[in-house]
Amino acid sequence: MNGPALLTMLAAAAPAAAPAEPPAYLQFLPLVAMAAIFYFLILRPQMRRQKEQQAKIGGLKKGDQVVTAGGLIGKVIKVDDTTVDLELGPNVRVRAVRATIGDVLPPAGSAPAND
């Protein structure tokens, strides 16, 4: 037997070693991990803040001090279903849509939490 014939015979007899492919679900594992990270770091805290904001606005009552989305600070003098009447200063009253209330300020007599 000559050399080239022997090589072709050995190449034909040896099975081709195919690289083993990973299972298909391993390709989607990074996407699932990124979705979980996105949910826990971004979506869940945002939904919690939104619930707290809605609870604050839902609990508005006469006498509360609030900050509007425009940055005006006022005292609530009347609460309706969709609007709030605010007193911004002496003889200065405005009507604001309830959804534009940005925050409810704590009463002036209470100490801040970090003091």
Length of the chain: 115
pLDDT at res. 26: 85
- In a domain, residue 71? The reply is yes
- Residues spanned by the domain of 88: 27-105
- In a domain, residue 69? The reply is yes
Number of domains into which the chain is organized: 1
pTM metric for this prediction:
0.58
- In a domain, residue 79? The reply is yes
What are the tens digits of pLDDT across the range 50-103? 999 899 888 899 999 999 999 999 999 999 999 999 999 999 999 999 989 998
CA nearest to 83, candidates 53, 57, 50: 57
What is the rounded distance in angstroms from the CA atom of residue 115 to the CA atom of residue 112?
6
pLDDT at res. 8: 66
Whichever domain contains 67, its CATH number is: 2.30.30
What is the H or E stretch that residue 102 is in? strand 101-105
Stronger pLDDT, 19 or 30, i.e. the higher one = 30
